[in-house]
């Protein structure tokens, strides 16, 4: 099957956008990801899916921790920075700590997790994270991703 057909089909599933944060050698690292899902309420588990070539993959494996930062609509720049799409421009990013895990300032939800299991499936690794702590900011709307483009709730509803 053609890759483009697969990506176009998956792109029909409108999602939010997250930045997955972790650390290695006391240095924070972020990567944009929309493959994120809630898994279990008791215990509280989430899953992320990280490509085999991503530099953050060995960092999450070694540290055993990651943060999921659900981006606000004013954070498209952050999404592009952490997807490697804005290398030449300076975009200020500020990391904070939530229960000892690096998270991104300005996200509408910060979720800090411990890796409890990992599964290599095809060219991605699924990490199951047990939630340590959560911090919410209800004052902003989410950034959305649909059909390969960034959107906002406003552009969807009008």
Three-state SS string across the chain, please?
Answer: CCHHHHHHHHCCCCEECEEEEEEECCEEEEEEECCEEEEECCCCEEEEEEECCCCHHHHHHHHCEEEEEECEHHHHHHHHHCCCCCCCCCCCCCEEEECCEEEECCCCEEEEEEEEEEEEECCEEEEEEEEEEEEECCCCCEEEEECCEEEEHHHHHC
Q: Which of 16, 51, 64, 106 binds ligand NAD (CB under 6 A)?
A: 51
Q: Which of 49, 76, 105, 152 binds ligand NAD (CB under 6 A)?
A: 49
Q: Which CB, 55 or 116, lies closer to ligand FAD?
A: 55
Q: Which stretch binds ligand NAD (CB under 6 A): 7-15, 18-26, 99-107, 125-133?
A: 7-15
Least distance to ligand FAD, CB of residue 137, Å: 20
Q: Which residue has the tokens 């899953």?
A: 47
Q: x/- site string to ligand NAD, residues 55 to 94, per CB under 6 A?
A: ----------------------------x-----------
Q: Which CB, 4 or 87, lies closer to ligand FAD?
A: 87
Q: Which parts of this chain interact with ligand NAD (CB under 6 A)? A: 7, 10-11, 34-35, 49, 51, 83, 148
């Amino acid at each position: 099957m053609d890759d483009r057909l697969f990506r176009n089909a998956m792109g029909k599933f409108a999602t939010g956008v997250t930045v997955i944060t972790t650390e290695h050698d006391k240095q924070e690292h972020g990567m944009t990801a929309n493959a994120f899902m809630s898994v279990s309420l008791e215990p509280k588990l989430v899953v992320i899916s990280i490509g085999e070539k991503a530099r953050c993959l060995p960092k999450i494996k070694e540290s055993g921790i990651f943060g999921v930062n659900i981006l606000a609509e004013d954070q498209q720049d952050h999404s592009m920075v952490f997807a490697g799409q804005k290398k030449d421009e300076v975009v200020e990013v500020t990391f904070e700590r939530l229960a000892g895990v690096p998270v991104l300032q300005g996200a509408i939800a910060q979720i800090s997790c411990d890796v409890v299991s990992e599964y290599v499936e095809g060219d991605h690794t699924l990490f199951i994270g047990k939630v340590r702590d959560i911090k919410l900011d209800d004052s902003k709307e989410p950034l959305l991703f649909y059909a390969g483009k960034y959107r906002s709730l406003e552009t969807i509803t009008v």
